[in-house]
Structure 1
Amino acid sequence: MSSNFQLKKQKILQQLNVPVHEYTDLSPKGSVDEGIRELVDEVNAIPGLVTTSSCAGRVAVFLEGAKKDASADITVDSQPFAGPGGKGGGRWLYISHEPIDVKEELGNLSLYEFLGFESAPARSAQEIHPNVNQRTVRFKFEPMILHVLTGSLDDAQKVITAALAAGFRESGAVGLAPNHDGSVTPVVSVRTNGLTFDSIVGYETNTSSLRTIVDEAYLLHLCLTANERFNENTSRIQRFREALKSRYQRTSSEKKGTNWEDSNLRRDRKRQEGLQKQLLLRSFDNASSPSAKVEDSQEHIDTGLFDG
């Protein structure tokens, strides 16, 4: 494992190990999500891996950034315009990294107010679409995403294999080119788009207030759908943990000279080894001449007695 990787891992772990009240990062939350902290610690305990960023999964209401007016002749360079997904100059109205307990969390608020809106739904198409450059409000669910810096191509392959097996089907790696010291340290992105959804639920009026375009029943349905996705997301995270642990336990066993196997495979192997031992002892008892020994040895090779 390269010293370049070791230095990067040491620096990242130093940042993660500061006291919770002092730690901050560039995410909207500013810290590692509680729902994924245990997984992050387990990944970082593996010598060839270290996490560089993570999100346990989240439900969010987001006001997209300003849209660039295609009909305008002037361009304001300092204005951050939103891209096709609404990112760029927007702001979060609501965000949670765990399921929404609607009954418990709302209190005296309406669901509109709870999610960051300031007024009731619009009542006409004219109110909803006064112009094409209006900023929209999106209700989003995004599953876990985890970026892992790996110490080798073999480590990267183990992470990707575990991720795909757990249902994170869009996982992959970047940084496959050699570093200056000749080492290869890919960054693996563990992710899936299969649980993601994004629904436009409101807009910003000309007076900068936020208004919904759906009723409260629809917003409640989105919250309940997000909760279902959270449950499946949690299951996939657990499957990923188990698959990753299995890959590295198998490697550890192989390095010690044993093969990783479950109880059924072990039972079958022991039975086969017993039969082979009996055959070997019988062949030595029957051997009475050099030519016989040569023939017996060839038989042993053919029947797999000397497989490694």
Structure 2
Amino acid sequence: MEGENTFKQWKKQSLNRLDLSKKGSIDRDVANIVSFINSSEHHFTTSSCSGRIILIDGVAALQKSSGDAVFKFEPCVLHVQCRQLEDAQLLHSVAINSGFRNSGVTIGKKGKIIMAVRSTHCLEVPLSHKGQVLVSEEYIDFLVGVANSKMDENLKRIERFYNCLKSALEPEEVKTHLKEEQSDKKTVYRRRRKRIQDSAGSDGGVKNQSESDQEDDLECELTLFS
């Protein structure tokens, strides 16, 4: 009980904290994921980034570079604090299956369990050294194309992660309802199969059943197992 109260306190403090990032708000492409995770009683986000393509040198353009300019693509990253280890393990499994294969779990000295959702498809290329440009404009155009492709894949992984996360963390009553629906479908199929068997003659034929009726039964059977 004490551990649960401590987690709730950590969550409250984290969610009430001011956003100190340069943007000052959550990225649009991960806003749904962050909101969904924070609605869970077992998790909350401590930081997030949907991914970015940047030129690092402290200047506005490569031509004005005075140091070592680096072109980078950084994929989505999320840090999620979890109430218990099994909560982190579930999140880790969802992340790995969604393509975020560099994800991992860490446990701090105070018992904080952090799950980092990370990917491996990064890109980092030096473009200049001590102000001297090392690559051609054609190569820069090529790098931009590669980075854009990686961003497209990054956004697909974000969507896949969100969908898998909703399935994994959906309320128990929803899971129970789905199980009941599946059970009802199996019951209907068993009754239909028994009706067909009861109408069969001793020679293995089917009495009073037209060809179209048989097709309907087959269609129903295929639908139930789709």
TM norm structure 1? 0.55
Pairing 1:167–2:113 present: no
> How many angstroms apart in 2 are the aligned matches of 1:157 and 1:2?
18
Percent identity between the two aligned chains: 29
Pairing 1:196–2:122 present: yes
Q: 1:42 to 1:213 in 2, by over 3 A?
A: same
> How many angstroms apart in 1 are the aligned matches of 2:63 and 2:178?
55
Structure (1 or 2) with the larger CA radius of gyration:
1
Specify the alignment match of 2:204 in structure 1. none
Specify the alignment match of 1:144 in structure 2. 76
Question: How far has the Cα of 1:153 moved from its partner?
Answer: 1.9
Question: Tell me, what secondary structure is at the counterpart of 2:170?
Answer: helix
- Aligned residues: CA RMSD: 3.2
Which amino acid in structure 1 is aligned with residue 114 of structure 2? Answer: V
Question: How far has the Cα of 1:154 moved from its partner?
Answer: 2.5
Verify the 8 A CA contact 1:56 1:144 in the aligned structure 2.
yes
Q: 1:260 to 1:202 in 2, by over 3 A?
A: farther
What is the CA deviation profile of residues 15-60 of structure 1, one whole-angstrom value per residue up to 9, with x for unaligned ones?
A: 2xxxxxxx541x4545422322222112111121100011110111
> How many angstroms apart in 2 are the aligned matches of 1:186 and 1:10?
16
Point out the structure with the larger helix share. 2
Specify the alignment match of 1:248 in structure 2. 169
Question: Tell me, what secondary structure is at the counterpart of 1:136?
Answer: coil
Question: How far has the Cα of 1:273 moved from its partner?
Answer: 6.7
**Number of residue-to-residue matches in the alignment:** 193
Which amino acid in structure 2 is aligned with residue 34 of structure 1? Answer: R
Which amino acid in structure 1 is aligned with residue 55 of structure 2? Answer: V
Pairing 1:221–2:142 present: yes
Which amino acid in structure 2 is aligned with residue 230 of structure 1? Answer: M
Q: 1:223 to 1:267 in 2, by over 3 A?
A: farther
Q: 1:201 to 1:157 in 2, by over 3 A?
A: same
> How many angstroms apart in 2 are the aligned matches of 1:53 and 1:46?
16
Pairing 1:239–2:165 present: no
Gaps of 5+ in 2: 196-226
Gaps of 5+ in 1: 16-22, 64-90, 95-112, 120-133, 180-184, 205-209, 279-308
> How many angstroms apart in 2 are the aligned matches of 1:273 and 1:248?
32
